[in-house]
Amino acid sequence: MTKKSKEGLTVKKEENFSKWFNQILDKAELIDLRLNMKGFMVFRPWAAMILENMFKLYESELQKKGHKPTFMPSVIPEENLKKESSHIKGFTPEVFWLKEIGKEKLALRPTSETLYTPMFKLWVRSHRDLPMKLYQRGSVFRFDTKATRPLIRTREIIWIEGHDAFATKKEAEAQVQEDIDTTEKIMHQKFGIPFLAMKRPQWDKFPGAEYTVGSDAFMPDGRLIQQPSTHLMGQKFSKVFDARFKNEKGEGEYLWTTAYGPAMSRILASIISTHGDSKGLIMPFCISPVQVIIIPVFNKKNKDKILKETEKVKKKIDSFKLKTEIDTGEKRPGEKYNYWELKGIPFRIEIGEREIKNKKVTLFTRDIGKKESLSIKNLSKIKELGKKLDARLKEKAEKFMKGKIVNCRTKQEIKTAIKNKKIAKVNFCSIDKKGEKCAEIIEKEIGAEIRGILANKKEKATGNCVICNKPAKEVVYIGKSY
């Protein structure tokens, strides 16, 4: 055991995840809750810089796939919000309304279908304007009546929302799959967060959608967390907003629309929870605001010489376009090591008398805690090592996820799986309306939810439903969630 400074974490992730999570948000200087507004957070520079890097990767993938940015108003006229009945029924309890000034009744946007659809009506004239793929980065606001949790369940969500319009249902359904692919390419491949792409049961879809696919990621405490979801809105919104286009024959048809919502603030919760350890954060190399921290190890006599050398090493690393900083502060090297490990910096370089003599640096790798010697000539190797670090984080998370899924054939087996903080994989009657009764039994007796069926891979059900014993149509995943 290393000696713990009062700045470090005092609790282990495995022992008390919830306490560990709150502690790391505070001690790694990510989130401040002391403004005392329930569900609203202050993102400190370290968290904000991580979010900015996450946005960059996400937006660049969306743009590569043909999406264009927009900025919509943060408010929505009541009239728009109330147009689609199941939408407003679903969102009504969660809406923040503004006090009326004059005649206008405005709501803070809880999501922006009712802003984008009237724009599609105006911007799309003919099939030649399709597909139209738009997005915005910004905040949405939901008055969540449940207990709030920083990053995970909040009243202001910092996210990207994609809104797309198509000529046919087929294209809209292909977009849902493309959105899953975007989650895969960025959240899984880059940030190292694997997930199950779950087509949700009909009773658990987005208010106003035909169907919803949610990405369920795994938290260390055995619960699932819904990450980016994508919705096939079908023609529901286009019909109430009369958003039509002229097809090739010149006839008017309603648009097919989809929506995609990766919440950066929520994904950050998964990154922190999945990769972090008892010493603090572990940042993926590809989004760490500082990728290499350089610590000079000096005494009064050799201070100048060593600082000069660290400057040289920094310049060299800068030239590889890596983000690097020198910690020239007054603390002892050991304290600096702890501080930057808490912040999750992928690599630390130590430079002292011995290193200079040997024309080497000491390189510390955060996730495996390994120290090694690296020749100054070979500093460019860090780029490669960074990719390897990201691959290790991803593989570790995948292994964790695999170990969490258990095939269950009886109600008792499901009970045991959930008790052991696992996810039960089960043959089930149906995720349409008629399966809801069986789902209610599971919720009541086991305290867990049907999360859905795989949306990007067909899994064949065998035998009968574990609850009602009717022939099973689906293979569903059952777990507890945030």
Q: Cβ of 408: how many Cβ atoms within 10 Å? A: 21
Q: Which of 3, 6, 34, 458 binds a second copy (CB under 8 A)?
A: 34
Judged by CB under 8 A, the chain residues 92 through 151 that form the site for a second copy are 96-99, 101, 104, 106, 108, 115, 118-119, 122-123, 134, 136, 138-139, 141, 143
Q: Which stretch binds a second copy (CB under 8 A): 33-41, 167-175, 188-196, 301-309?
A: 33-41
Q: Which stretch binds a second copy (CB under 8 A): 44-52, 205-213, 219-227, 338-346?
A: 44-52
Does 411 sit near a second copy (CB under 8 A)?
A: no
Q: Which stretch binds a second copy (CB under 8 A): 8-16, 17-25, 45-53, 345-353?
A: 45-53
Does 70 sit near a second copy (CB under 8 A)?
A: yes
Q: Which is nearer to a second copy, 43 or 339 (CB)?
A: 43
Identify the residue whose tokens are 């202050």: 42
Q: Which of 158, 167, 219, 476 binds a second copy (CB under 8 A)?
A: 158
User: Which two tokens mark 472?
Assistant: 């099973």
Report the alpha-carbon distance of residue 451 to residue 196 in Å, rounded: 10
Least distance in angstroms from the C-beta of 343 to a second copy? 13
Q: Which is nearer to a second copy, 1 or 35 (CB)?
A: 35
Amino acid present at 277:
D
Q: Which residues of 21-40 are buried (b: 16+ CB within 10 A; e: fewer)?
A: bbbbbbbbebbebeeeeebe
Q: Which is nearer to a second copy, 93 or 463 (CB)?
A: 93
List, as one string, the DSSP characters of 230-294.
Answer: EEEEETHHHHHTT-EEE-TTS-EEEPEEEEEE-BHHHHHHHHHHHH-BTTB----TTT-S-SEEE
Does 246 sit near a second copy (CB under 8 A)?
A: no
Q: Which of 24, 25, 28, 51 binds a second copy (CB under 8 A)?
A: 51
Report the alpha-carbon distance of residue 233 to residue 172 in Å, rounded: 9
Coil, strand or helix: which one is 410?
A: coil
Q: Which stretch binds a second copy (CB under 8 A): 43-51, 164-172, 197-205, 432-440?
A: 43-51
194 near 200, Cβ under 8 Å? no
Q: Which residues of 317-345 are buried (b: 16+ CB within 10 A; e: fewer)?
A: beeeebbbebbeeeeeeeebbbbbbbbbb
Cis peptide before 73 (omega within 30 of 0): no
Coil, strand or helix: which one is 430?
A: coil
DSSP state of 434: G
Does 45 sit near a second copy (CB under 8 A)?
A: yes
Residues that bind a second copy (rule: CB under 8 A) add up to a total of: 48
473 near 216, Cβ under 8 Å? no
Does 55 sit near a second copy (CB under 8 A)?
A: no
Q: Which of 3, 15, 36, 147 binds a second copy (CB under 8 A)?
A: 36
Identify the residue whose tokens are 């023609």: 235
Q: Which of 69, 369, 403, 447 binds a second copy (CB under 8 A)?
A: 69
Q: Which of 21, 80, 327, 417 binds a second copy (CB under 8 A)?
A: 80
Q: Which stretch binds a second copy (CB under 8 A): 68-76, 192-200, 220-228, 373-381?
A: 68-76
Q: Which is nearer to a second copy, 269 or 465 (CB)?
A: 269
Contacts with a second copy by CB under 8 A lie at 32, 34-38, 40-45, 47-49, 51-52, 68-75, 77, 80, 96-99, 101, 104, 106, 108, 115, 118-119, 122-123, 134, 136, 138-139, 141, 143, 156, 158
